[in-house]
Structure formats: C-alpha cells, structure tokens
C-alpha cells in the first residue's frame, strides 16, 4: 500500500447466512457499495475503487461464488439471493444512505436491491446491465467465453492465454484477471448467465423509488435505443448517460469517460 492509495483493508462479514468478503477504500464520506459483474472478483475493480475512495467510503463486494466470498456445493447462486446478500451486507455494516453502483450483472442485482431490499439505499447506478430475458434478444456474450477462460486459469495455464479473450486490455489488466478468475465458481457463473435469459429484470423496475442512473456503453451492444425507451417508461425520471467510446467493460475501455458519466449523477464528484 502506497501513501497515495485509498485502500484500507479486506474483510469478511456474515450476512444473509453466508460469509461475504469485501474490500474497503477511503473510509470517509458517503457510503458506496460497488457490485461487480459476473466474473469480476473485487480486486479486479481496485483501480476504480481507488478513485472512488477519494470521496466515498467505498465497499467492493465479492458476489457469492466469486473471489473470497462463500461458495459451497448446492449454494443458491440466483440473482435474487445475491440481491438479498447486498441488502443484508449494508444492514450488517450499518450503512445508511448508501449509493449502489453495479456493473453488468451487478446492475441487475442493483435493480433487485432497489426494488426489494432498499433499506438504507439512497441512489442506484446501473452500469450497462444485461436487458435480456424471456422473449427478449439474447445477451451478446456467450457462456463459453466465461467458462473456457475460467477453466484455463483453474488449470494453472499462463495468464497470457487470456489475451485472446480480452484483446484490448493492458497486460496488467489481463494478468490481474488471470490471477483471480479461478476463484469464480463455474456453477455460480452458469446459473447467473442462464438467469440473464430466464428472468426478466424489467418486472422489478417499477418498484424502484430511489434516484437511478443508467450508464450505457456506446460500443457495448448490450443496451439499444428501444431498451432505453422501455426502461425510461418503467422508471420515470431515470437519468440515462452514454459513454460513447467504451464497450461493455466501460472502465477498462474508457476510465475517464466512466467517471465523467458517473459525475453527472453522484452528489460529490470523483
């Protein structure tokens, strides 16, 4: 840890009946919970949390079945269970008026938190969440992309084998992903991915009552104009902002664009 780092520590808390691991940054200012995507353990979001920690008391979660959070045979890896985890996590740590920022799968989890477990929640940011579901177009990334990369790292293959999976990332970013990808339980990833298609996020959106932002990747292919129109009808007053130069992994593609977008909504700029 350097003197300029906002990283404080990693810790565990028992909430919703499981061990939840998190990384804490900053320690001052309003509380902010960051919920990563389907195969992104908490350390892979450290470069984002470092900056958030300058203004916010930032908690980066390991979603169940990822990173150092609990994973056991037969565990319920549903997105509903993950949302319950977040709500219980906030209550266990006594977080009040916290902001939730969720990327991809984390955005869908965030919507469920806001709709069903909103105690203490003050704002929600959904970053390019999958809008697939029954009767809707499929999520553009295929399950093999996730499973094959996890199996390579679980087998101890060199991190360079991931280069073809993320060709635009820096060596440092690919190496970090390779270091943590083996901690992603394959059953958890498959169940989450399948739920992108078997459950419909949209049915929960009308229950969201907190100020909400939808951040859209300009080059992601996940969210289209018609999706935005539907979401705006379901969540009146939702703020929509685009990051034109970024694909789905927005902070990796355009970090400054990510923060510029976030700063249009957060109460204190970072």
Residues that are catalytic: 104, 224, 248
DSSP 140-153: SS-HHHHHHHHHHH
Half-sphere exposure at residue 72, Cβ-oriented, CA atoms within 13 angstroms: 6
Residues 211 and 114 sit within 8 Å (Cβ to Cβ): no
**What does the angle CA 98 – CA 100 – CA 101 come to, to the nearest 5 degrees?**
145
What DSSP character marks residue 118?
Answer: -
Written as six digits, the tokens of 130 are 């999958």
Cα separation, 109 vs 126, in Å, equals 9
Residue appearing with tokens 């932002």: 213
Q: Who's near 117: CB < 8 A, 6+ residues apart?
A: 83, 84, 86, 87, 88
Q: Who's near 83: CB < 8 A, 6+ residues apart?
A: 109, 112, 113, 116, 117
Radius of gyration for the alpha carbons in the chain, expressed in angstroms and rounded: 17
What DSSP character marks residue 91?
Answer: H
Beta bridge partners of 217: 243
């Amino acid at each position: 840890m350097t003197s300029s780092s906002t990283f404080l520590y990693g810790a565990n808390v028992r909430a919703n009946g499981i061990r939840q691991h998190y990384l804490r940054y900053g320690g001052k200012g309003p509380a902010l919970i960051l919920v990563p995507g389907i195969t992104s353990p908490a350390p892979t979001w450290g470069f984002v949390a470092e900056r958030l920690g300058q203004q916010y008391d930032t908690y980066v979660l390991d979603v169940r079945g990822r990173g150092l959070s609990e994973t056991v045979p037969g565990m319920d890896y549903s997105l509903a269970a993950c949302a319950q985890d977040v709500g219980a996590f906030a209550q266990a740590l006594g977080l009040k008026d916290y902001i939730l920022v969720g990327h991809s799968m984390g955005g869908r989890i965030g919507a469920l938190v806001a709709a069903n477990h909103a105690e203490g929640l003050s704002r929600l940011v959904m970053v390019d969440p999958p809008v697939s579901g029954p009767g809707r177009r499929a999520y553009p990334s295929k399950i093999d992309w996730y499973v094959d990369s996890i199996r390579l790292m679980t087998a101890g293959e060199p991190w360079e084998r991931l280069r073809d999976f993320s060709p635009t990332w820096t060596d440092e970013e690919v190496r970090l992903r390779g270091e943590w990808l083996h901690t992603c339980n394959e059953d958890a990833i498959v169940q989450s991915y399948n739920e992108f298609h078997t459950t419909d996020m949209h049915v929960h959106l009308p229950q969201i009552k907190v100020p909400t932002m939808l951040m859209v990747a300009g080059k992601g292919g996940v969210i289209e104009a018609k999706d935005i129109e539907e979401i705006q009808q379901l969540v009146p007053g939702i703020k929509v902002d685009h990051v034109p130069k970024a694909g789905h992994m927005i902070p990796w593609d355009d970090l400054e664009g990510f923060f510029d977008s976030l700063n249009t909504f957060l109460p204190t700029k970072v």
